Structure 1
Amino acid sequence: MPLTAYDLTGRSAFITGAAGGIGRAGAVLLASAGATVHGADRDEKGLLETRELINEAGGTCHVHPLDVTDRNQIRDAVAAAGDLDVLAAVAGIMHTSSVLDTADDDLDRVLSVNFKGVLYACQEVARSMIARGASGSLITMASGAVDAASPGLLCYGAAKAAVVQLTKTLATELGRHAIRVNAIAPGWIRTPMTARHDADQQHRAEATMARISPLGRVGEPEDVAHTMLYLASDASAFMTGQILRPNGGVAMPW
Structure 2
Amino acid sequence: MPLTAYDLTGRTAIVTGAASGIGRATAVLLAEAGATVHCADLDDRGAGATAAAITASGGSAHPHALDVTRREQVAALVDEARRRSGRLDVMANIAGIMHSSAVLETADADLDRVWNTNFKGVLYGCQEAARVMIATGIRGSIVTMSSGAIDTGAPGLLCYGAAKAAVVQLTKTLATEVGRHGIRVNAVAPGWVRTAMTDRHTDEGRQQAERPMVRMSPLGRVGEAEDIAHAVLHLASDASSFTTGQILRPNGGVAMPW
Interval of TM-score (by shorter of Structure 1 and Structure 2) = over 0.9
Superposition pairs of residues 1-254 of structure 1, within 5 angstroms: 1-82=1-82, 83-251=87-255
Q: Which runs of 5+ in 1 are unaligned?
A: none
Instruction: State the distance in 1 between where 2:202 and 2:18 align.
Output: 25
Q: Does the 8 Å contact 2:190/2:250 carry over to 1? A: yes
Percent identical residues: 68
Q: How far does residue 196 in structure 1 lie from its aligned partner after superposition?
A: 3.4
Which letter does structure 2 place at the counterpart of 1:101? E
Q: How far does residue 11 in structure 1 lie from its aligned partner after superposition?
A: 0.3
Name the count of aligned residue pairs.
252
TM-score (norm 2): 0.96
Q: How far does residue 4 in structure 1 lie from its aligned partner after superposition?
A: 0.3
Aligned to 1:91, the other structure's residue is in SS state coil
Q: How far does residue 209 in structure 1 lie from its aligned partner after superposition?
A: 1.6
Aligned to 1:37, the other structure's residue is in SS state strand
Instruction: State the distance in 2 between where 1:157 and 1:207 align.
Output: 21
Aligned to 1:100, the other structure's residue is in SS state helix
Per-residue displacement from partner, 1:29-83 (whole Å, max 9, x unpaired)?
Answer: 0000000000111101111110121112110110110100000001111111112
Per-residue displacement from partner, 1:217-243 (whole Å, max 9, x unpaired)?
Answer: 110000000001100100000000000
Aligned to 1:18, the other structure's residue is in SS state coil
Q: How far does residue 133 in structure 1 lie from its aligned partner after superposition?
A: 1.5
Worse-matched range after superposition: 205-214 or 107-116: 205-214
Per-residue displacement from partner, 1:94-124 (whole Å, max 9, x unpaired)?
Answer: 1000000000000000000000000000000
Q: Which runs of 4+ in 1 moved over 2 A?
A: none
Which letter does structure 2 place at the counterpart of 1:186? P
Instruction: State the distance in 1 between where 2:68 and 2:171 align.
Output: 17
Q: Which runs of 5+ in 2 are unaligned?
A: none
TM-score (norm 1): 0.97
